[in-house]
Chains A and B, each alone.
Chain A
Amino acid sequence: MTILETERLTRAYGGVIAVNNVDFQVEGGLITGLIGPNGAGKTTLFNNMTGLDTPSSGKVRFMGKDITGYPAHKICRLGIARTFQNIRLFKDLTVAENVMIGRHFKTGKDETKGRFLNALKSYIHLKEEENAIYDKALQWLDFFDMHSYRSELARNLPYGKQRELEIARALATDPQLLFLDEPAAGMNPQETEHLIRIIRKIRELGITVVLIEHDMRLVMNICDSITVLNYGEKLAEGTPTEIKNNPLVIEAYLGRDE
């Protein structure tokens, strides 16, 4: 079943067309890779699907519902989470607090509606709710073998752990669909191995994963399906084997052999 799809999605910045008429499908329960040379429009496509940017034209549908132009917080509440290419943690909060923030705005219905009584209620119940959120956050940290880091400030974590913490925080929003923007960037081989195991475990939880990645070993290793972008357009899609042998893809990456 297709969980998310874009229909002729285009994003132009003035005369520069970053994403051009892209039809992109994500199958539920699978790991989909989004690859392509630098500047191919991968992150722009991510931004347009997660509400950080609005398409110039075209549609985004999530579980059959048109979510084009929805603000990011609404998309988050519908069940889509993401991480960033450059790590964007709350660096001065502890590891546990980072994960808790992901959890916080998910528990009630629409807490930020700012109703006075709601605020009052949340004050009274905050302690027990806070404890429940803390326990849940620790569970996610266990999932990443990061329990022992829980009281460290996020900025003091080793690089690879910071990347994983960002994933843990995204998972805490309880998504059905998780976007990872270059999760292995800057990781050493051991950290990448650990990350691969984690992404597989995330799929086992029933969460659909879409990832942008330049590490081809990782992509070919864990993706069930791959879409290739080049100059803002969809170049190819298929299984890792199909993509590996596709002459168009090889040309885009290596250039034409004259």
Chain B
Amino acid sequence: MGIAEFFQHLTNGLTLGGIYALIALGYTMVYGILKFINFAHGDVLMVGSYAGLFIYNALRGDASLGPWVLIAFFLAMLASMVISALLGVTIERVAYKPLRKATRLAPLLSAIGVSFILSNSAAWAFGTNSKKFHYPFDNTPFVFKGVVITPHQILILSVSLVMMVILKIFVDRTRMGKAMRATSLDQQTAMLMGINVDRVISLTFSIGSALAAVGGILIALDFKVYATMGTMTGLKAFVAAVFGGIGNITGAMVGGILLGILETFGVAIFGIPSGLKDTIAFGVLIIILLVKPAGLLGKDEKEKV
């Protein structure tokens, strides 16, 4: 493999990984605080993508290119983040909060139920045909020293980078971020320190869901919007979160990006047929569970008796 080819795969891998990372953050943040996997996360992503698509189409009207289309795209993305955040918080209030004191299996099953309800409702309401999400810009690729990069890829890389930096600053440096970290360490004690845990949980769901909406729209530009789009993407982002160490925010970022790179290089170097690309993610999941169950950045917790 030549240098240009290497960088080509790296670019593709980073782009894919950036999206995985955005979505994985939602899984990992919720797990960090509630110790539960929100299996409806992928479907929140799907609803966010539909919302983004409809708002974008309404705003841009007949225009297909130009500055207004670009503005409309970002406005639609913002609006879809807000809508998804509200949806995420509502799901938590309705389907998970009442089960907080139940067995750990109960909210998990509830999440799977919510997932089916959302994807079936979307299929019923919007039809089963996939809808195209038009690029808000001319997607003619640039060629830079033999490496091809599309404006879409640049968009993905920059948006996911900005989102992750903002999130990191928020969690590490603001008081609300501290409240989140304290809550994830010990919920009851956090309460006794004056932290409103319910509010922290709502905030966690809204941030995770908003990031999922962004991830969904970025994917939709290439792969269209459809009712089950959240399923496979969601599962892979979940693998990325486990890979990096579930519950660990930096872990989700690293896990997502590494998974994207592994998938791209797996096809390119090891000659895994691209039809089997998805098996790479799940192969990684099995290996990580066998070798380092806590994930790359996770801590091995020893249960104390």
Do the two chains belong together in a single complex?
Answer: yes
Contacts of B197 in A (CB 8 A): 73
Is A76 touching B176 in the complex (CB atoms < 8 A)?
no
Is B194 touching A76 in the complex (CB atoms < 8 A)?
yes
| Count, chain A residues at interface, CB 8 A | 32
Contacts of B178 in A (CB 8 A): 101, 104
Contacts of A51 in B (CB 8 A): 191
Is B173 touching A123 in the complex (CB atoms < 8 A)?
yes
Give the dominant DSSP class at A's interface. Answer: helix
Q: Which of A105-113, A191-199, A217-225, A243-251 contacts B (4 or more CB under 8 A)?
A: A105-113
A72 in complex: contacting residue of B169, B182, B186, B192, CB < 8 Å: B192
A71 in complex: contacting residue of B170, B176, B186, B196, CB < 8 Å: B196
Q: Is residue B139 within 8 Å, beta carbon to beta carbon, of the partner chain?
A: no
What bracket does the count of chain B residues touching chain A fall in?
A: 20 to 34
Is B188 touching A112 in the complex (CB atoms < 8 A)?
no
Is A126 touching B173 in the complex (CB atoms < 8 A)?
yes
Is B175 touching A108 in the complex (CB atoms < 8 A)?
yes
B195 to chain A, nearest CB (A): 5
Given known pairs A90-B186, A114-B199, the reply for A76 and B175 (CB within 8 Å) is: no
Q: Give CA–CA (A123, B173) in the complex, Å.
A: 6
Is B182 touching A90 in the complex (CB atoms < 8 A)?
yes
A6 to chain B, nearest CB (A): 19
Is B193 touching A173 in the complex (CB atoms < 8 A)?
yes
Indicate the member of B169, B189, B200, B203 with the most A CB atoms within 10 Å. Answer: B189
A102 to chain B, nearest CB (A): 5
Contacts of B200 in A (CB 8 A): 112
A76 in complex: contacting residue of B179, B192, B203, CB < 8 Å: B192
Contacts of B189 in A (CB 8 A): 84, 88, 90
Is B179 touching A50 in the complex (CB atoms < 8 A)?
no
Q: Is residue A3 within 8 Å, beta carbon to beta carbon, of the partner chain?
A: no
Given known pairs A72-B188, A90-B185, A113-B199, the reply for A122 and B194 (CB within 8 Å) is: no
Q: Give CA–CA (A170, B189) in the complex, Å.
A: 10
Is A122 touching B174 in the complex (CB atoms < 8 A)?
yes
Contacts of A108 in B (CB 8 A): 175
B82 to chain A, nearest CB (A): 12
Given known pairs A52-B188, A112-B199, the reply for A123 and B194 (CB within 8 Å) is: no
CB neighbors of B among A142-189 (8 A): 169-170, 173
Contacts of B192 in A (CB 8 A): 50, 52, 72-73, 76, 81-82, 170, 173
Supply 10 further A-B pairs (C-beta < 8 A) apart from A104-B179, A111-B175, A170-B192.
Answer: A71-B196, A76-B193, A82-B192, A105-B175, A111-B179, A119-B170, A122-B175, A122-B176, A123-B174, A126-B174
